């Protein structure tokens, strides 16, 4: 344990620093005493032994350094800080003895970074390293990603330093709390400075300017002997006569054909294939889709939606909508709100079968999952309580979840739950398709591209922007009548939103 004594006279305050062992040994003085003006404010005292502080004891009065005294017998791996209001005794010139403990220096400290805790529905993940041993990292820089069944969890560096050791191989499985890597704090900055110092002189030192260009040095004789003074012998002329036909009269030989054949053969031989291990998210997607096929009695019903009215509404109000809500008005909000309206009328589509208890679970809320394609796979973040939202709220929620998905910042909580799914393949130009149910849900709506098609209206043929929609449902729970009625309700609401406003 370290402690100091402060002795005050009329003009000076003398500081004595001592080190006392925990085993009851006598205190040992650390260096010479330090004298500072008696009027100095010693409310903050620091024993600083790092390289930045120029090893010694510092006394601070306010924000100014009042004195420094080099210490002896202290290890440079420790720093001591004393922060307290010094109280005087009017009957004595000796201040109170203040005790303080040492703290281990953070410079060059090696810490072990562990796997962060996962959500309740996730038990393990696969590690994908972004850094290697010896790499310098800054604070909060991503060192690795842990791919789980639903999303990727980034593991940042807790401080600036150098990667000392990787404790898990690339692709290895980890659970919450598993040690991942060792980091040496603060080790990167000195190394970078040293490398900069060593590289700067070499790069900055220009070649010495010469007053005059030196004359070219004479050629040195070869190691084999003196330079030859005669020309080498000319090779003999062949005995047969040389053909002097013009180039145009010469017949092509088979050599070019052979070379072309060799090139083609080399091109065919260059065809290769590579194998890439499926990541955990792709494996989970494959497992869940196959599970849906094996469990659900899937059936798909179709319809088409005339997008004329909703397109006209969007065209009319998109600028005002953007100005007021600071977000663009799209078609997705219309379909999400129409689905929530239709689900309220057809609760079976919003329900699910509990295969464990053999019960049907009906929900009085609507949480709609929106399928989003990312480079790592398909994710389905959830918009919750859609029945209470308007178009602006839905657009903001979709935009927020889409941004998080593209930046790989979706949490497991963002994708948990969901009572119904909407997949919009129209953004990729899809014209028609049959979506697969997202278990444990019971139905999914597939949107497709908008294309101008001839439509018979009132005995006349008109060109209208049309969209095919598909509803895939679990026939174990949802009958055909309920499925068709549900899809027709979505069609009527999108074609004329006044139906929803009038509750028709």
Within 270-354, residue ranges assigned H as helices are: 280-295, 308-325, 332-345
pLDDT mean over 85-111: 52
Among 91-95, 387-391, 457-461, the least confident range = 91-95
CA–CA distance from 372 to each of 100, 400, 405, 424 (Å)? 57, 12, 7, 9
Contact, 392 vs 325, CB < 8 A? yes
Q: What are phi and psi of 253, to 5 degrees?
A: -100, 180
**The predicted structure's pLDDT at residue 282:** 82
Just list the catalytic residues. 475, 479
For residues 323 and 321, what is the distance between their CA atoms, to the nearest angstrom? 5
Confidence of residue 237 (pLDDT cuts 50, 70, 90): low
DSSP label at 101?
Answer: -
| Of 58, 61, 56, residue with least CA distance to 86 | 61
What count of other Cβ atoms lies within 10 Å of the Cβ of residue 442? 25
Please report which helix (H) or strand (E) contains residue 212, including its range: none
- β-partners of residue 195 are none
DSSP characters over 108-129: T-EEEEEPPPPPTT--EEEEEE
Distance CA 488, CA 471 (A): 10
**pLDDT at 499 exceeding the cut of 50:** yes
pLDDT at residue 286, as a whole number: 87
DSSP 8: E
* pLDDT score for 74: 40
Q: How far apart are CA 6 and CA 13, in angstroms?
A: 7
Whether residue 335 has pLDDT greater than 90 = yes
Q: What pLDDT, on a 0 to 100 scale, did the predictor assign at position 289?
A: 87
Residue 58 has pLDDT above 50, yes or no: no
Across 41-50, 315-324, 397-406, the highest mean pLDDT is recorded for 315-324
pTM check: above 0.75 = no
Q: Which domains does the chain have, with CATH numbers?
A: 2-37 (no CATH), 110-184 (2.40.50.100), 297-502 (3.30.559.10)
| 163-212 confidence digits (pLDDT tens) | 988 998 888 888 888 899 999 887 654 444 444 455 544 444 455 544 44
CB 98 within 8 A of CB 84: yes
Q: Of how many residues is the chain composed?
A: 504
Report the C-alpha gap between 366 and 344 in whole angstroms. Answer: 8
Whole-angstrom Cα distance, residue 338 to residue 334? 6
pLDDT in tens, 278-290: 877 788 888 888 9
If you search the block for the tokens 């955990």, which residue do you land on?
280
Which has the higher per-residue pLDDT, 137 or 376?
137
Report whether pLDDT(48) > 80: no
Give the range among 33-42, 50-59, 212-221, 487-496 with minimum mean pLDDT.
Answer: 50-59
| pLDDT single digits (tens) 362-395 | 999 999 999 888 777 778 899 999 999 999 999 9
8 Å CB contact between 394 and 333:
yes
- Contact between 115 and 154 under an 8 Å Cβ cutoff? The reply is no
pLDDT tens digits for range 3-36: 555 555 555 555 555 555 444 444 445 444 555 5
């Amino acid at each position: 344990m370290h402690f100091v004594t402060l002795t005050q006279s009329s003009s000076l305050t003398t500081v004595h620093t001592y080190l006392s062992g925990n085993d009851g040994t006598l205190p040992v003085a650390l260096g010479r005493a330090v004298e500072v003006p008696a009027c100095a404010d010693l409310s903050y005292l620091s024993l600083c032994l790092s390289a930045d502080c120029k090893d010694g004891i510092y006394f601070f009065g306010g924000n100014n350094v009042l004195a420094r005294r080099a210490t002896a017998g202290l290890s440079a791996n420790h720093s001591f800080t004393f922060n307290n209001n010094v109280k005087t005794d009017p009957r004595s010139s000796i201040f109170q003895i203040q005790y303080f403990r040492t703290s281990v220096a953070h410079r060059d400290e090696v810490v072990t970074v562990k796997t962060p805790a996962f959500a309740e529905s996730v038990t393990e993940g696969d590690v994908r390293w972004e850094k290697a041993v010896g790499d310098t990292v800054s604070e909060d820089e991503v060192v690795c990603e842990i791919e789980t069944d639903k999303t990727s969890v980034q593991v940042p560096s807790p401080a600036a330093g150098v990667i000392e050791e990787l404790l898990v191989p690339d692709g290895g499985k980890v659970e919450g709390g598993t040690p991942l890597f060792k980091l040496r704090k603060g080790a990167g900055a000195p190394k970078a400075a040293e490398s900069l110092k060593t590289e700067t002189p070499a790069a900055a030192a220009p070649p010495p300017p010469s007053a005059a260009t030196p004359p070219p040095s004479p050629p040195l004789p070869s190691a084999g002997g003196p330079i030859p003074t005669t020309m080498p012998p000319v090779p003999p002329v062949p005995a047969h006569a040389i053909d002097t036909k013009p180039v145009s009269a010469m017949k092509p030989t088979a050599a070019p054909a052979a070379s072309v054949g060799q090139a083609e053969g080399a091109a065919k031989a260059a065809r290769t294939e590579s194998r890439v291990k499926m990541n955990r998210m792709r494996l989970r997607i494959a497992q869940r889709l196959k599970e849906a096929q094996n469990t659900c009695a899937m059936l798909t019903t179709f319809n088409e939606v005339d997008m004329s009215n909703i397109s006209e509404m969007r065209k009319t109000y998109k600028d005002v909508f953007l100005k007021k809500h600071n977000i663009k008005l799209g078609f997705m909000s219309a379909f999400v709100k129409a689905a929530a309206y239709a689900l309220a009328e057809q609760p079976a589509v919003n329900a699910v079968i509990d295969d464990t208890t053999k019960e049907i679970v009906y929900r009085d809320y609507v949480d709609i999952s929106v399928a989003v394609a990312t480079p790592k796979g398909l994710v389905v973040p959830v918009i919750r309580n859609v029945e209470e939202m308007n178009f602006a709220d839905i657009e903001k929620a979709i935009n927020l979840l889409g941004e998080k998905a593209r930046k790989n910042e979706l949490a497991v909580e963002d994708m948990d739950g969901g009572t119904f799914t909407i997949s919009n393949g129209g953004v990729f130009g899809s014209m028609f398709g049959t979506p697969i149910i997202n278990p444990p849900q019971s139905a999914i709506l597939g949107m497709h591209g908008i294309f101008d098609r001839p439509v018979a209206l009132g005995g006349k043929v008109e060109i209208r922007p049309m969209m095919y929609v598909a509803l895939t449902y679990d026939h174990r729970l949802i009958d055909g009548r309920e499925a068709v009625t549900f899809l027709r309700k979505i069609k009527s609401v999108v074609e004329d939103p006044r139906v929803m406003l009038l509750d028709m």
